[in-house]
Amino acid sequence: MEEGSKSEGNRSTTTTTVVHGKYELGRLLGQGTFAKVYHARNVKSGKSVAMKVVGKEKVMKVGMMEQIKREISAMSMVKHTNIVQIHEVMASKSKIYIAMELVRGGELFSKIAARGRLREETARLYFHQLISAVDFCHSRGVFHRDLKPENVLLDEHGDLKVTDFGLSTFSEHLRDDGLLHTTCGTPAYVAPEVIGKKGYDGAMADIWSCGVILYVLLAGFLPFQDDNLVALYKKIYRGDFKCPPWFSSDARRLITKLLDPNPNTRITISKLMESSWFKKPLPTTPRHQLEFKFDLEDSATKETSTMNAFHIISLSEGFNLSPLFEEQKKQKEEEIRFATTRPASSVISRLEEVAKAVKFDVKKSETRVRLQGQERGRKGKLAIAADMYAVTPSFLVVEVKKDNGDTLEFNHFCSNQLRPALKDIVWRNFPTHNPTPA
């Protein structure tokens, strides 16, 4: 890092990094593809913050600088007790430093994964805070578009904090039809209308995600789940879910209105706040004494044993629709999946272009393409099969499998040929290029 100071002891030398003379960086708290988050201390006040350090070169290389700017703008606009606050932004030639509120309590949903579902009154308290934050965002013309378990944190007092506005957008980005059109979000929590091409209301899409979160708070597992991506999206598109028997009648009615697949009839936040379940008294017990309820008899049922809270974390990561771009798993993958809003003909054309460039033979149908190398590899000629499944008329899931040959050669092919050829048509959890702001 560019700006730091060194302090030397008699026997050893330690280096302390001080950002712009203001923040002393401490231990690493976490990291992603494009950023690292450190514990940091304000040198003058002594106050602790979370310092997000973004490498400029990396984000510019993949065209994500606009997304970083949008995240900073959105967080600066939404000053609310239940939203992680941004303190200041600094920059050097190679890095962007974002000083944010340090939230010490971790993820609410990690507690659910470990302990089970919440008591209904506890879930209501957290849902109140979530809706308060989301409603405030909407009042400022900000739509989050990626509300999910990892983006809901707890502070040391047990209060909920919404974070990660990387996929957010603003009301001024609405098109002439008054709708948003950029397909984004995390599959298990995204509203069905978002995956189509007809546009969507950002507020209603956020409400759907809140409905998924409330369901998980009360149930301990996801409302829509299937090991097959195509089947999962068909369930989401139809609104095909069941409430567990322990849901109260009021909770059941509200969940059904929140997870209405038709955004035109889905409940609004103002109506939600008037619902009988939402208006019930909140618990007065201190946060740290609110126990998580986990009934072993309930969990023994087939439904909860196959759809338990541990799926919350695994599905959030496992349903990343473009493992083509996941470096850490390449050596083991013999099958990859991605989704696209492009027609099957576009996918087939791209695959044909790839085959032509590397001298592979092509066999195709309307929903399947098979590529086979002309030269023999370590385990014979490499063959790749791509199957396309229509979840909706405008949304495809593509499965790419090794049909023959060596796994390492398959991974090398995916990394060096498929990734560059498909990067602008793959729908992933964050754009690989600058989408049209919408």
pLDDT, tens digit only, all 438 positions of the chain: 445 443 334 444 456 788 888 999 999 988 777 788 999 999 999 999 999 999 888 888 877 888 888 889 999 999 999 999 999 999 988 999 999 999 988 887 777 776 778 889 999 999 999 999 999 999 999 999 999 877 899 988 889 999 988 888 888 778 888 788 887 788 889 899 987 778 899 999 999 999 999 999 999 889 998 777 778 888 998 999 999 999 999 999 999 999 999 999 999 999 999 999 999 998 775 455 554 444 333 433 333 333 343 333 333 333 333 333 333 343 446 678 777 878 888 899 999 999 999 889 999 888 889 999 988 888 889 999 998 887 666 677 788 888 888 888 888 888 888 888 887 787 643 333 334 445
Task: Report whether 402 belongs to an annotated binding site.
Answer: no
Tokens of residue 235, six digits: 């369930």
Superfamily of 14-100 according to CATH: Phosphorylase Kinase; domain 1 (3.30.200.20)
Is position 146 annotated as part of the catalytic site?
yes
Catalytic residue among 146, 201, 206, 260: 146
Every domain of the chain and the residues it spans: 14-100, 108-318, 324-422
| pTM exceeds 0.85 for this model | no
Secondary-structure breakdown of the chain: helix, strand, coil percentages, each rounded to the nearest 5: 35, 25, 40
What's the CATH fold of domain 108-318?
Answer: Transferase(Phosphotransferase); domain 1 (1.10.510)
Q: Residue 426 burial (CB < 10 Å; 0-12/13-18/19+)?
A: buried
Q: Is the dihedral of CA 32, 35, 40, 42 positive or negative?
A: negative
Superfamily of 324-422 according to CATH: Kinase associated domain 1, KA1 (3.30.310.80)
108-318 and 324-422 have identical folds:
no
Contacts of 292 (CB under 8 A, 6+ apart): 111, 112, 115, 116, 117, 118, 119, 122
